[in-house]
Amino acid sequence: MSVVGGRQKIWVTDWAANADVVYRVTAGKLGEVAWNWPDKPGVMGCASYSDNLTVTTSKTPGMQTLSMNAAGAFTGKPELTMQENGYGRMGPMEMLNDSASLVGTVNKAGGQPLSSDDRVAIIVREGGGGGGKD
């Protein structure tokens, strides 16, 4: 959830029959599908920042980021990040603030696990401060 200009943006990810989807929740109600992924990458967690929605995927490595305007409308296709040399497949995500989130990896459930998987990592947005993979 994020609050911008006094308005909250709350999102829910789901695996629907024909696509993975994200809904925007408004006034306690699940709204219409705001975005869908026909290729079904296994959307899991999400973090709603002031200018984008970042969604983790459990069937493909990395994250997908949808840029959005102040009203919460998406302004383009998802930008794929952390596919190579990242954390692999990702599951739950919890936003800490408008600069960082916690994310859990789900590589032991069929990805390419390391001895340290599954783990929780802090993801810092570009321009949001320093930090590395560990």
**Which domain CATH number covers 29?**
2.120.10.30
DSSP letter at 16 equals: -
Look at residue 114 and tell me if it is in a domain: yes
For residue 55, pLDDT beyond 90: yes
At residue 134, does pLDDT exceed 90? no
- Statement: the pTM of the whole predicted model exceeds 0.85: no
pLDDT grade for 33, boundaries at 50, 70 and 90: very high
For residue 34, is it within any domain?
Answer: yes
| pLDDT value at 28 more than 80 | no
CA distances from 88 to 31, 56, 73, 106 (A): 31, 10, 28, 8
- Read off the pLDDT of residues 59-112 as tens digits, 9 standing for 90 and up: 989 999 999 998 888 999 999 988 877 788 899 999 899 899 999 988 887 666
Decide if 103 is inside a domain.
yes
**Residues 101, 128: contact at Cβ < 8 Å?**
no
Q: Is residue 134 part of a domain?
A: no
Separation CA 111–CA 106 (nearest Å)? 7
Q: Is the pLDDT of residue 133 over 70?
A: no
Whether residue 131 lies inside any domain: the answer is no
Task: Provide the domain count of the chain.
Answer: 1
Boundaries of domain holding 59: 2-124
- pLDDT number for residue 36: 96
Mean pLDDT of 2-22: 77
Q: Are 74 and 34 in contact (CB under 8 A)?
A: yes
Residue 15: per-residue pLDDT? 94
pLDDT at 127 over 80: no
